[in-house]
Structure 1
Amino acid sequence: MEVERVQAIASIAMTDDTIPIEYIRTEKEQPAITTVVGKELEVPVIDFRNWDEKEVVKAIVKASQNWGLFQIVNHDIPSDVIKKLQQVGKEFFELPREEKEKYAKPEGSPSVEGYGTKLQKEIEGKKAWVDHLFHKIWPPPSINYGFWPQNPPSYRAANEEYANCLHGVVDKLMGYLGEGLGLEGVELKASVGGDDLAYLLKINYYPPCPRPDLALGVAAHTDMCALTMLVPNEVQGLQVCRDERWYDVKYISNALIIHIGDQLEIVSNGKYKAVFHRSTVTKDKTRMSWPVFLEPPSDFAVGPHPKLVTDENPAKFKTKKYSDYVYCKLNKIPQ
């Protein structure tokens, strides 16, 4: 049976000015009702070239505790590297459907890698207004090039260049986050997989939607991984929940948006907070984003770091294999 792709549904819906009922959110989720209009959140912006590292650490800790989200600028990933990553991703999604389907996620695959639409079980059977492409970009032994598009021809080079540049930012950021917890050197990175930490790229493609007031690109969630490094295009769509209301996050050109994920909240024993966020869509523009999820190996056990557990501050989370955590979260099973 042919899988419905949102890109195809969108091309029909735009002529009808309606969307299928499964994309219409309940009133407690509809963007028109739940978004604070006309106010963009200016989430913390951190300059990675700041000479005072203590100030950088302090700013990262504060943002990770109070927001679970921050943007970093002057991160040493050249703007042309980011532009090439975005360009080849855009070109892939503009290919004819039969070309994209060559990279479709195999039916029944336990992995998320591949071109697809549905990702996880949604309450009340609702669907997200998004298609996606997943594949790992690091470490080399984990990469399955079968899910890397060969068209456009420069796709592989652009992604490899971005992955190589991202390494330095990740290591620096992990060091700062660890220092903020009182951990030394690579202790924090080691607690979520060390050098085996997987970089899982997802390209989100949110086509124009005739009823953006009713639909969501991605429903409200926290990321399962340790950290998310996100590059969006210039089309507004990322929203964060503050005090039970939803706010647009201000777009900053060439910034990396950092999400604290569930695994860092667990390792930090609750000091750092995973950010509750969602994606909206627009009527006349295509939004795209390129998150890289930093994931522990599937059989790696993650729990509160022993140095952060005391009699006064007991463990707030269970230690469990990452694959078990993912299974429970995707299937809405209490952890």
Structure 2
Amino acid sequence: MEVERVQAIASLSLSTNSIPAEFVMGEKEQPALTTFHGPVPEIPTIDLNDPDQENLVRSVARASSEWGIFQVVNHGIPNDVITKLQAVGKEFFNLSQEEKEMYAKPPGAQTIEGYGTKLQKDLQGKKSWVDHLFHRIWPPSSINHKFWPKNPPSYREVNEEYAKYMRELATKLFTNLSLGLGLEGHVLEEAVGGEDLEYMLKINYYPPCPRPDLTLGVVAHTDLSAITILVPNEVPGLQVLKDDCWIDAKYIPHALIIHVGDQLEILSNGKYKSVLHRTTVDKEKARMSWPVFLEPPGELVVGPLSQLVNEDNTAKFKTRKFKDYMFCKLNKLPV
């Protein structure tokens, strides 16, 4: 299978200090040539426990408008819950290839859920240095437990606990984002599905790579989601494009990274910016991350909010079903 081939390539490459040509990015993408190394502003960090509510709203809105990404501390998810989430994810990726394959995405399936190697291809047909596991963690009606590992045994319990805290954090974020647009606090979360909003967890596993200067874990992209809430590990690798420079996201222990996704940019009619980001890899250590993509149900129609559109600020985006937007983007059709 393709997954086994890539892992074999990784093992071979580590012994030869080279990587196959299909993993070598073009010069405009290679981290060694495109990462900015001078003094740069840091991605904003926001304390969600800020007692000054107006300042909190202002900070969230400014970061979402100017950066499309920010880190949050005092976010309400206990450290031990995050530690357990990371532990069971790491245990899964340490299993034998045969056992991981039990959760593989079925060939030809329409869903993205399951285990596999993303092998994301850009227009030049290049491949990314990453394995992954996708599955929904909310709402219960959308969960398919056949993609939830049974080993380690605590995997389900840990993820269900994480989902409970994740929902509380999502509501807090959407409320502040709504207020930042001059809207009532409930507007954005309802506009992306409310109780039917889907929480898609992805675990990214980036094996050690002998030539991290030449390849990427994930090529530059924006997220399809409304927002993405990400748990990193201590191995750095997330980069964002800011003022035409690729800059590294600083690792902050116990902080979560919040990405503005495409649907939030559309709903805000461009006020909030969907962040262009990519992932680098490490020569010595495996990098892992746990993003949760907050996505509208497929049939939900998403477009610029009517409250934000007028003669002076006309709609900048199409209004359509989320599943149609997703189809166009995944198939590199105009969106």
TM-score range, shorter chain: over 0.9
Which 4+ stretches in 1 moved above 6 angstroms? none
The equivalences for 1:70-89 within 5 A come to 70-89=70-89
Q: Structure 2 counterpart of 1:221, which letter?
A: H
| 1:36 correspondence with 2:36 | yes
Check whether the contact 2:113–2:135 (CA below 8 A) recurs between aligned residues.
Answer: yes
Structure 1 residue runs without a partner (length 5+): none
The equivalences for 1:37-186 within 5 A come to 37=37, 41-118=41-118, 120-186=120-186
Matches of 2:234 and 2:38, distance apart in 1: 17
Matches of 1:103 and 1:58, distance apart in 2: 43
- 1:208 aligns to what SS in structure 2? coil
Matches of 2:106 and 2:235, distance apart in 1: 31
Post-superposition offset of 1:42: 1.7
Post-superposition offset of 1:107: 0.8
Matches of 1:94 and 1:31, distance apart in 2: 27
Post-superposition offset of 1:17: 1.0
Q: Deviations over 1:197-217 (max 9, x none)?
A: 000000000000000000000
Check whether the contact 2:120–2:126 (CA below 8 A) recurs between aligned residues.
Answer: no
Identity, % of aligned positions: 63
Post-superposition offset of 1:3: 4.3
The equivalences for 1:252-291 within 5 A come to 252-291=252-291
Q: Structure 2 counterpart of 1:48, which letter?
A: L
Matches of 1:2 and 1:267, distance apart in 2: 38
The equivalences for 1:277-316 within 5 A come to 277-316=277-316
Q: Structure 2 counterpart of 1:262, which letter?
A: D
Post-superposition offset of 1:4: 4.2
The equivalences for 1:148-227 within 5 A come to 148-227=148-227
| 1:235 correspondence with 2:235 | yes
Compared CA separation, residues 15 and 38, structure 1 to 2 (3 A): farther
Matches of 1:37 and 1:46, distance apart in 2: 24
Q: Structure 2 counterpart of 1:268, which letter?
A: S
Q: Structure 2 counterpart of 1:43, which letter?
A: I
Structure 2 residue runs without a partner (length 5+): none
Check whether the contact 1:5–1:117 (CA below 8 A) recurs between aligned residues.
Answer: no
RMSD: 1.3
Q: Deviations over 1:10-34 (max 9, x none)?
A: 1221011111111000000000000
Post-superposition offset of 1:179: 0.7
Post-superposition offset of 1:50: 1.0
- 2:297 aligns to what SS in structure 1? coil
Q: Structure 2 counterpart of 1:123, which letter?
A: L
Matches of 1:190 and 1:121, distance apart in 2: 34
Matches of 1:243 and 1:304, distance apart in 2: 25
Q: Structure 2 counterpart of 1:200, which letter?
A: M
Matches of 2:39 and 2:217, distance apart in 1: 20
Post-superposition offset of 1:118: 2.6
Post-superposition offset of 1:7: 3.5
Compared CA separation, residues 308 and 2, structure 1 to 2 (3 A): closer
Q: Deviations over 1:169-210 (max 9, x none)?
A: 110110110011121131111111111000000000000000
Check whether the contact 2:119–2:129 (CA below 8 A) recurs between aligned residues.
Answer: no
Bigger drift between 225-234 and 9-18 goes to: 9-18
Q: Structure 2 counterpart of 1:196, which letter?
A: D
Matches of 1:247 and 1:79, distance apart in 2: 27
Q: Structure 2 counterpart of 1:46, which letter?
A: I
Check whether the contact 1:121–1:332 (CA below 8 A) recurs between aligned residues.
Answer: no
Matches of 2:3 and 2:82, distance apart in 1: 31
Q: Deviations over 1:145-180 (max 9, x none)?
A: 000000011111111111111111110110110011
Matches of 1:41 and 1:284, distance apart in 2: 27
Number of matched residues?
A: 335
Check whether the contact 2:119–2:128 (CA below 8 A) recurs between aligned residues.
Answer: no
